[in-house]
Amino acid sequence: MSERSTVPRERLGALLRAMPKAELHIHVEGSLEPELIFALAERNGVALPYPSVEALRAAYAFSNLQSFLDIYYAGASVLRTEQDFFDMAWAYLQRAAADGVVRAEIFFDPQTHTARGVPMGVVIEGLHRACVQAQSQLGVSAALILCFLRHLSEEDALQTLEAALPWRDRFIGVGLDSSELGHPPEKFARVFARAAELGLHRVAHAGEEGPPAYIWGALDALHVERIDHGVQAAQDAALLARLARDRVPLTVCPLSNVRLRVFPDLAQHNLRALLDAGLCVTIHSDDPAYFGGYLLDNYRLTFDALGLDAGHARLLAANSIDASFAAPTDKARWRAELQTVFERMAIP
Ligand code: HPA
Ligand SMILES: [Zn+2]
């Protein structure tokens, strides 16, 4: 067992759980555990191409982003009713609360569901009800971010945004996810401009598998406020300088990056190098049911693999709060709670 310079390993683990943290990169469809997939398939009379929970889980051996997405969209096909969307989001929020999450900004992919005939209102109302209950029963502040699937057309994204407008007060922003290579951010410039007109926050996946040019494109063509993943920025010194200067957060998902073979293992992840370059890096879970861990697993395993210490813990938790779209009063309260946790645990 290794000892950190200031804090033993067990206390560091307890600190990582106790710290108030914001989860800013979580696809709610990626929180669908195999057990819930099977339960919903049975409830809805949906046939699955896997005989058992174990067989489904055994299929979670991915070689890249696309090999994961194929299985992820198949899993989401069991979602049919408002209650299904509620159950999925509520299961995630309970796990997040247990990990010390005080704020969750949750991605959802409406096109995955509306293309199957599920009405937009069913998706949004089910997820929203879980967010409301998270505040009242768990003390977790939860909000939704509507993501466009980048393998589909911009026209489809524009229609999706318009179709969601009757629920405009139920989501705080838009994002861009799905297959990255071959679908540069510029393809979605008009729909992101429309989102900006509507007063929505804007984020985009960029530089997960794609080149630094896609991160430049997300900044300059989509005017995003955060980059999801962004780890490929390390290849471009001018881009690192831009991200540091403008304090653009990178929502990094270490376990996802290893499972999708962006890095061969956690010890070779560049999260520490990105922090050392002065970037506003945060840690998140991406698709926790598929990638082997929720938020606290991502923190603990990354801290172990990279030898991070209590100073990094404070910085990463503070970054996550600062990078969130929560109200300034909430952010100030969580920052004060973060300070209290360090004082209570007598960690300098
Ligand atoms: O990691 C991801 N990348 C892109 N799209 C996604 N949709 C769910 N997870 C991901
Ligand atoms: Zn993601």
The region of weakest confidence among 2-6, 32-36, 150-154, 192-196 is: 2-6
Who's near 198: CB < 8 A, 6+ residues apart? Answer: 161, 165, 168
Q: What is the ipTM of this complex?
A: 0.96
- Residue ranges for the known binding site for substrate are 287
Closest of 228, 247, 306 to residue 298, by C-alpha = 306
The residue whose CA has the least distance to atom 1 of ligand 1 is 286
DSSP E strands: which ranges in the chain? 21-27, 101-108, 141-149, 173-177, 201-206, 226-229, 250-252, 281-283
How far is Cα 249 from Cα 229, in angstroms, rounded to an integer? 10
Domain boundaries, the chain: 9-344
Q: Is 149 helix (H, G, I), strand (E, B) or coil?
A: strand
Continuous H helices in 19-81: 34-44, 53-58, 65-76
- The label of the residue with tokens 């603990």 reads 300
CA 286 – ligand 2 centroid, Å: 5
Which amino acid, one-letter code, is at 97?
A: A
Q: Which of 69, 149, 256 to mutate to test the pocket of ligand 1 (most atoms within 8 A of CB)?
A: 69
Please report where in the chains the tokens 């645990």 appear, as a residue.
Answer: 345
Burial 331-348, CB ≥16 within 10 A → b, else e: beebeeebeebbeeeebe
Check 208, 209, 337, 343 and give the catalytic one: 208
Give the model's confidence band at 5: pLDDT under 50 very low, under 70 low, under 90 confident, else very high.
Answer: low
Q: At residue 28, what is the residue type?
A: V
Tens of pLDDT, residue by residue over 17-72, are 999 999 999 999 999 999 999 999 999 999 999 999 999 999 999 999 999 999 99
> According to the model, what pLDDT value does residue 6 have?
75
**Rounded to a whole number, what is the distance in angstroms from the first to the last CA of the chain?**
22
Say which CATH architecture domain 9-344 belongs to. Alpha-Beta Barrel (3.20)
**∠ CA 128-132-135, rounded to 5°:** 140
> 216-236 pLDDT, tens per residue?
999 999 999 999 999 999 999
Does the C-beta of 177 come closer than 6 Å to ligand 1?
yes
Kindly state the percentage of the chain with pLDDT values over 90: 97
Judge whether 54 counts as a catalytic residue: no
Q: Over 50: is that where the pLDDT of 3 sits?
A: no
